[in-house]
């Protein structure tokens, strides 16, 4: 499916980073703020001509102390 969409019409990126569990609530809050700002921006457009899906994930890749089961 990705190959059928021109690069100019899509954006795909991934970031892998170390995160302190103490900072997790702040990271989730910033993600929520970003998502809200994108929604506000999209809602200001009175005549949209495309429908897009925005996916944002923050998923632990490590298994510290077995806590992410």
Q: What are the tens digits of pLDDT across the range 14-59?
A: 999 999 999 999 999 999 999 999 999 999 988 999 999 999 999 9
Residues 6 or more apart whose Cβ sits within 8 Å of residue 2: 10, 12
Place of tokens 């170390």: 18
Q: Please give the pLDDT value at position 2.
A: 83
Higher pLDDT, 64 or 27: 27
The model's confidence at residue 67, banded by pLDDT at 50, 70 and 90, is low
Q: With CA atoms as reference, report the closest residue to 10 among 59, 42, 52.
A: 52
In whole angstroms, give the CA distance from residue 28 to residue 25: 5
Q: Classify the phi-psi angles of 35: left when phi > 0, otherwise alpha if psi is within -120 to 50, otherwise beta.
A: alpha
pLDDT at 45: 86
């Amino acid at each position: 499916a990705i190959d059928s969409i021109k690069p100019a019409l899509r954006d795909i990126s991934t970031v892998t980073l170390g995160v302190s569990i103490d900072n997790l609530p702040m990271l989730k809050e910033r993600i929520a703020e970003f998502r809200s700002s994108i929604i506000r921006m999209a809602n200001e457009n009175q005549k949209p001509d495309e429908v897009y899906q925005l996916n944002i994930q923050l998923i632990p890749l490590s298994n510290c102390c077995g806590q992410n089961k």
